[in-house]
A and B are shown apart, each in its own frame.
Chain A
Amino acid sequence: MTDTLVAFDDVLASYDPAMGLEVHVELNTVTKMFCGCPTEFGAEPNTQVCPTCLGLPGAMPVVNGKAVESAIRIGLALNCDIAEWCRFARKNYFYPDMPKNFQTSQYDEPIAFEGFMDVDVDGETFRVEIERAHMEEDTGKATHVGGATGRIHGADHSLIDYNRAGIPLIEIVTKPILGAGAKAPDVARAYVSQLRDLIVALGVSEARMDQGNLRADVNLSLSPKGSGTLGTRSETKNVNSFRSVERAVRYEMSRHAAVLDAGEKVLQETRHWHEDTGVTTSGREKSDAEDYRYFPEPDLVPVAPSREWVEELRGTLPENPVAKRARLQGDWGYTDLEMRDVVAAGVVGLIEETVAAGASPQAARKWWLSELGRRANDAGVDITDLGVAPAQVAAVQALVDGGSLNDKLARQVFDGLLAGEGTPEEVVAARGLAIVSDEGALSAAVDGAIAANPDVADKIRDGKVAAAGALIGAVMKEMRGQADAGRVRELILEKLS
């Protein structure tokens, strides 16, 4: 069934959007939230489990102190108050991927509450208020086999991997975001994007949306323009890229408007986001009557972080990403457009390290944004996982600056680096990539090219300097690329002047 949609501009003519964003951050602690099992991603199914995270009868949880520390740091970075005393609570519901059929979470006593984040949308600042950040455990991962959709409906059977069960999560919940109007989709995207930058800067999560380290749920409702009320919301689950967050908000706004325009009621329900088609579809209906029967987890003692500890952690917070970005843009001399591109590509940190290792900001931007960005894209990996270190990029650029490599040869050096052939210098030596600086050989090659292309040579003699490119190409081919193109051009112009 295809949803009826209203054009975005028409939505805004009649309605005000309200959003609520819930972001789950999977922490990068070495062990799980309540047991000593490893959290490493990608292990064989059900190999990183124990009586506690499998929910075996009699097993008990113990809180991971490092996860509490990460939660407090996230809370502080979001300008939240940190609870002096809070508890875990059981959220009771039945699902096969939940080992205990309750999730150990926090309810009315979150570790962090009442904060905000200022997000940057096209140069304007929009304040997103944070209601709470709380600690909880992840569920197992169910794979539904035999159905057409990969969802449980229609599946033949399901496989459950409990390696993920008990991985620490921080759920960050905003207050209703009102007044964003036409910018609602951009505000949503910018919020999630900046939140990710913050999480990365804190070093508390791998924060990779494609691997589910960061998962966003988008709540959206519309109310008649200017009414100041809140409409019925839909909750779109697991929107797993920045672009999708923006698209999902846009889609739901258009869908809600169509429902309301038709005089119907918006269903309060969970919806699934489809990355490929860019639409949401109905999941299970959710009513306020859904009752998780929360009560304090009696197997755990309250978490009561001392004020001294909280202040100590406040001292470990990284520079605010927005302020930092402005500072770096100034330091690097990037245009707004250049800065936006490197931010969007997620390479700010990589460029920072490359510059620190000695490369110029423009050279660092060039390598990370074009050459290495393309390679990461081709390999389908995150650029941070490509296997090239900022220091290596700086070393390659140093060889270019020193005249022993040109850009084309440098690309071959990256091939060698990715193939694990050693340092840039070792790759250059092993592959024989250094530029030939023997003037005699170069001069002979130029002479040969002139002799082989007399008509081109005549044009250059007549002052059509642009034609030199054809001769440069011939010389470079003769030299198998290992020549400094600048020097070749100089020689050609010298000989034909």
Chain B
Amino acid sequence: MTTDWTRRTAAEIADALAAGEVTSAEVTQAHLDRIAAVDGPVHAFLHVDAEGALAQAAESDARRAAGAPLHALDGVPIAVKDVLATDGLPTTCGSKILEGWVPPYDATVVAKLRAAGLPILGKTNMDEFAMGSSTEHSAYGATHNPWDLDRIPGGSGGGSAAAVAAFEAPLALGTDTGGSIRQPGAVTGTVGVKPTYGGVSRYGLVALANSLDQVGPVTRTVLDSALLHELIGGHDPRDSTSIDQPLPPLVEAARQGATGDLSGVKVGIITELSGDGWQAGVMTRFQESVDLLVKAGAEVVEVSCPTFVHALATYYLILPAEASSNLAKFDAMRYGLRVWPAEGASAEEVMRATRDAGFGDEVKRRIILGTYALSSGYYDAYYGTAQKVRTLISRDFEAAFEQVDVLVSPTAPTTAFKLGEKLDDPIAMYLNDLATIPANLAGVPGISVPAGLAAEDGLPVGFQILAPALADDRCYRVGAALEALLLEQWGGPLVPPEENLS
């Protein structure tokens, strides 16, 4: 019987590579074949680098043959969200304005992948400049949820989540500004982690909102996320906001959690993140998971974080403000799209025409919002007030973490909705991130773990675990425990029906 290496976890592939049961070239080829077979309907990738990935795989195999692998994950292929700069590979951020741009440098996290020997399969689809919760705002077409191709895979990192869910890659990198790793994880039945702000370098991440963005792992298991997180994390002198201290032991925490014992762990359910508008099937699966945590020995209490109800409004002032300034550099002067409105047009006219043609509607909406929020006379009322509320949200977290070790909630209020369903209603779209945004505002880490399928639609539900800043290990311990107990209950992982993908 042949082994389908695409069905294996990254940890299993790493073990098999170490044991000489398979080569990186075989594993990489298997994933490239899988991409060729299913990515038509899924459209998780914007760019596939078969040649580059196979060359890196061959180098990995040569190193291993020489007895000198670079890392435990040396040879395990990975997909990278198209918002991360990759030397020699196109980087579009899902936008027409960057069509054809090939960065001359690697993001620090990408450089770390290369230094560890992980073949890069390609770049994954995303909402334009990471603005969205459905990947429908990609200028290159939406990604489809492998569980139901008529539904969204979440966003902005729907490409990375769908690639991992559809077995096109064992690992992927995402970025999370308000839930762009965790919410796609929830709706595609995968694991997604937003590390502590400053825990992973942002150098080479094309900023959406600098004070909120974090790079993090997208995988099918909690252990795989821990392995990848340890690889990409740590201080980077090129990122002033990166934290200059070692990461807590994440893989160790995941292994400890996998024993299923949570004695002594105190868990808080966030009162404000449930209620009206939360899908019944989501709440049912959430409650079942909470019950499992209790069974594992955790003490569960309810904790109120009253300012969280203002998180969405706060976020939609801070994010557009930062984004409006970040996106100013896309002016056709040095790289990317250039539109000439007329022969002999001035630089200003070229900038205007290029930005008009190159940015999508959602991007324009947020540039206008942010420009307004920062304007003289409005700054204090909008941006200034938002920063104050942000501080209050951090204080709510601090108070909550004095009572409990971790906070939990459903990752998203609903399961995956239909493509197009919320495209004309930005507020409805924004509400998807209600539960994930507070962590970004406060800089604390969070993980989304699959919690089963909602009874009413058979679609995946995510369980979110939040921990204090720098205590990412708690997310892994509790997440791995829940994962182990659920797998035991289910008798194996829940995977999207294969017939969907053909």
Interfacial residues, chain A to chain B (CB-CB below 8 A)? 51, 54-63, 90, 92, 94, 96, 99-102, 158, 160, 289, 291, 293-295, 298-301
**Nearest neighbor of A100 in chain B, beta-carbon distance:** B329
Chain A residue nearest in CB terms to B350: A96
Q: Is the CB of A301 within 8 A of B379?
A: no
Q: How far is the CB of A135 from chain B (nearest CB, A)?
A: 14
Is the Cβ of B238 less than 8 Å from the Cβ of A90?
no
How far, in whole Å, are A293 and B380 apart by their CA atoms in the complex?
Answer: 11
| Bound CA span A8–B175, Å | 64
Give the secondary structure class of A's interface: loop
Q: Is the CB of B376 within 8 A of A293?
A: yes
A58 with B237, Cβ < 8 A, contacts A100-B329, A295-B383 known = no
Give the distance in Å from the alpha carbon of A334 to the alpha carbon of B331 in the complex.
59
Interfacial chain B residues near A56, Cβ < 8 Å: 85, 103-105, 334-335
Question: In the complex, which residues of chain A have a beta carbon less than 8 angstroms from the beta carbon of B211?
Answer: 298
Q: A51-B104, A92-B374 are in contact. Are A58 and B331 (CB under 8 A)?
A: no
> What residues of B have a CB within 8 angstroms of the CB of A59 in the complex?
105, 203-204
Expressed in whole angstroms, the Cα–Cα distance for A60 and B329 within the complex equals 13
Residue among B104, B209, B322, B347 with the highest chain A CB neighbour number at 10 A: B347
Q: Is the CB of A96 within 8 A of B347?
A: yes
Interface 0/1 of B171-208, CB less than 8 Å to A:
00000000000000000000000000000001111110
Q: Are B203 and A57 in contact (CB under 8 A)?
A: no
Assuming the contacts A96-B333, A299-B241, asked whether A58 and B325 have C-beta atoms less than 8 A apart, the reply is no
Taking a contact as CB atoms under 8 Å apart, the answer to whether B103 and A57 are in contact is yes
Interface centre among A51, A56, A291, A301 (most CB of B within 10 A): A56
Nearest residue, chain A, Cβ from B333? A96
Q: Which residues of A contact B91 (CB under 8 A)?
A: 57-58
The 4 closest A-B pairs by CB, nearest first: A101-B328, A298-B210, A293-B374, A298-B211
* Nearest B residue to A160, CB-CB: B333
For this complex, 28 residue pairs linking A to B, each with C-beta atoms less than 8 Å apart, are: A54-B334, A57-B85, A57-B91, A57-B98, A57-B103, A58-B203, A59-B204, A60-B203, A60-B239, A62-B237, A62-B238, A62-B239, A90-B325, A94-B351, A96-B333, A96-B347, A158-B347, A160-B333, A291-B375, A293-B324, A293-B371, A293-B376, A295-B325, A298-B209, A298-B210, A298-B241, A298-B322, A300-B241
**Pair B329/A58 contact, Cβ less than 8 Å:** no
Q: Which residue of A lies closest to B328 (CB)?
A: A101
Question: In the bound complex, what is the Cα–Cα distance between A294 and B375 (angstroms)?
Answer: 8
Q: What is the 8 Å Cβ interface bit string for chain B, positions 323-342, against chain A (1 contact, 0 not)?
A: 01100111101110000000
Residue of A57, A289, A291, A295 near B329 (CB, 8 A) is A57
Residue B389, interface by CB 8 Å: no
Say which residue of A51, A158, A291 sits within 8 Å of B105 (CB atoms): A51
Chain B min CB distance to A362 (Å): 55
B321 at interface by CB-CB < 8 Å: yes
Q: A158-B347, A299-B239 given. 6 additional CB < 8 A pairs?
A: A56-B104, A57-B93, A58-B84, A58-B103, A59-B204, A294-B374
Task: Kindly provide the distance from the CB of B278 to the nearest chain A CB, expressed in whole angstroms.
Answer: 32
Chain B residue at smallest Cβ distance from A290 = B376
Contact of B328 among A92, A298, A300, A301 (CB under 8 A): A92
> B500 — which chain A residues lie within 8 A by C-beta?
none
Q: List chain B residues, Cβ under 8 A from A160.
A: 333
Q: How far is the CB of B383 from chain A (nearest CB, A)?
A: 6
What separation, in Å, do the CA atoms of A431 and B85 have in the docked complex? 63
Q: Residue of A at shortest CB range from B374?
A: A293
Q: Does B240 contact A (CB under 8 A)?
A: yes
* Chain B residues packing against A (C-beta within 8 Å): 84-85, 91, 93, 98, 101, 103-105, 107, 202-207, 209-211, 237-241, 321-322, 324-325, 328-331, 333-335, 347-348, 351, 371, 374-376, 379, 383
| Closest beta carbon of chain A to B322's beta carbon, Å | 6
Q: Which residues of B contact A299 (CB under 8 A)?
A: 202, 207, 210, 239-241
Our pick among A158, A293, A300 for the contact of B325 (Cβ within 8 Å) is: A293
Contact call B240/A301, Cβ cutoff below 8 A: yes
Chain A residue at minimum C-beta to C-beta distance from B101 = A57
Separation in Å of the B332 CB from the closest CB of chain A?
A: 10
Residues of A within 8 A of B328 (CB): 92, 94, 100-102
Among A58, A62, A90, A102, the most chain B Cβ lie within 10 Å of the Cβ of A58
Q: Which residues of A contact B374 (CB under 8 A)?
A: 92, 293-295
Contacts of B351 in A (CB 8 A): 94
What residues of chain A lie closer than 8 Å to B333, measured between beta carbons? 96, 160
Q: Tell whether, in the assembled complex, residue B335 and residue A301 are in contact, meaning their CB atoms are under 8 Å apart.
A: no
**Whole-angstrom CA separation of A293 from B335 in the bound complex:** 25
A397 to B463: give the CA distance in the assembly, Å: 87
Tell me the minimal C-beta distance from B234 to chain A in angstroms: 16
User: Contact check: which of A58, A62, A101 meets B206 at CB < 8 Å?
Assistant: A58
Bound together, the chains give a CA A100 to CA B328 distance in angstroms of 7
On whether the beta carbons of B85 and A99 are closer than 8 Å, the reply is no
Tell me whether A300 and B375 are in contact (CB under 8 A): no
Query: In the complex, which residue of chain A has the Cβ closest to the Cβ of B383?
Result: A295
In the complex, what distance in Å separates the CA atom of A62 from the CA atom of B85?
Answer: 18
In the complex, A299→B197 CA distance in Å? 12
* B240 CB contact (under 8 Å) in A51, A62, A294: A62
CA A59 to CA B326, docked complex, whole Å? 11
Q: How far is the CA of A369 from the CA of B13 in the complex (A)?
A: 79
| Known contacts A54-B334, A57-B206, A293-B375; A99 and B329 CB within 8 A of each other | yes
**Closest B-chain residue to A91, C-beta based?**
B325
CB distance from A35 to the nearest CB of B (A): 9
Question: Shortest CB–CB separation between residue B385 and chain A, in angstroms?
Answer: 13
Identify A58's interface contact among B204, B241, B324, CB under 8 A. Answer: B204
Instruction: Report the minimum CB–CB distance from B346 to chain A (whole Å).
Output: 9
Minimal beta-carbon separation of A266 from chain B (angstroms): 23
Of chain A, the residue at the smallest CB distance from B327 is A101
Query: Known: A58-B203, A301-B241. Contact between A291 and B376, CB under 8 A?
Result: yes
CB-CB under 8 A from B322, the residues of chain A are: 295, 298
- The residue on B at minimum CB distance from A93 is B328
Q: How far does the alpha carbon of A372 sit from the alpha carbon of B324 in the complex, in Å?
A: 55
The residue on A at minimum CB distance from B129 is A57
CB distance from A37 to the nearest CB of B (A): 13
Of the listed residues B85, B330, B331, B348, the one surrounded by the most CB atoms of chain A closer than 10 A to its CB is B331
With a cutoff of 8 Å between Cβ atoms, the chain A residues found around residue B104 in the complex are 51, 56
Chain A neighbourhood of B324, CB < 8 A: 92, 293
Chain A contacts of B85 at CB under 8 A?
51, 56-58
For B240, list chain A residues within 8 Å (CB): 60-63, 299-301
Q: Which of A99, A100, A289, A295 has the most CB of B within 10 A?
A: A295
Q: Determine the chain A residues whose CB is within 8 A of the CB of B335 once the complex forms.
A: 56-57
Contacts of A94 in B (CB 8 A): 328, 331, 348, 351
Chain A residue numbers with a CB within 8 Å of B348 are 94
Tell whether, in the assembled complex, residue A295 and residue B321 are in contact, meaning their CB atoms are under 8 Å apart: yes
**B84 / chain A contacts, CB cutoff of 8 Å:** 58
Task: Give the distance in Å from the alpha carbon of A461 to the alpha carbon of B275 in the complex.
Answer: 125
With contact pairs A58-B205, A60-B202, A299-B210 given, residues A99 and B325 touching in the complex (Cβ less than 8 Å)? no
> How far, in Å, is B173 (CB) from chain A's closest CB?
13
Q: How far is the CA of A96 from the CA of B335 in the complex (A)?
A: 12
What separation, in Å, do the CA atoms of A61 and B203 have in the docked complex?
Answer: 9
Closest chain B residue to A52 by CB distance?
A: B238
Give Cα distance in the complex from A136 to B130, angstroms: 30
Is A58 in contact with B238, judged by CB distance below 8 angstroms?
A: no
Q: How far is the CA of A388 from the CA of B203 in the complex (A)?
A: 47
Chain B residues, CB < 8 A from A62:
237-240
Specify the chain A residue showing the minimal Cβ separation from B348: A94
User: Nearest chain B CB to A203's CB is how many angstroms away?
Assistant: 27
What is the distance, in angstroms, from B328's C-beta to the closest C-beta of chain A?
Answer: 4
Closest CB-CB distance, A166 to chain B, in whole Å? Answer: 14
Q: Which A-chain residue is minimally distant from B95 (CB atoms)?
A: A57
Cα(A19)–Cα(B394), bound, Å: 46
What's the Cα separation between A60 and B213 when bound, in Å?
13
Give complex CA distance A294, B205 in Å.
23
Inter-chain CA distance A300–B321, complex, in Å, is: 16
Nearest CB on B from A168, distance (A): 16
Return the chain A residue nearest B335 by Cβ.
A56
| Complex CA distance for A467 and B101, rounded to whole angstroms | 85
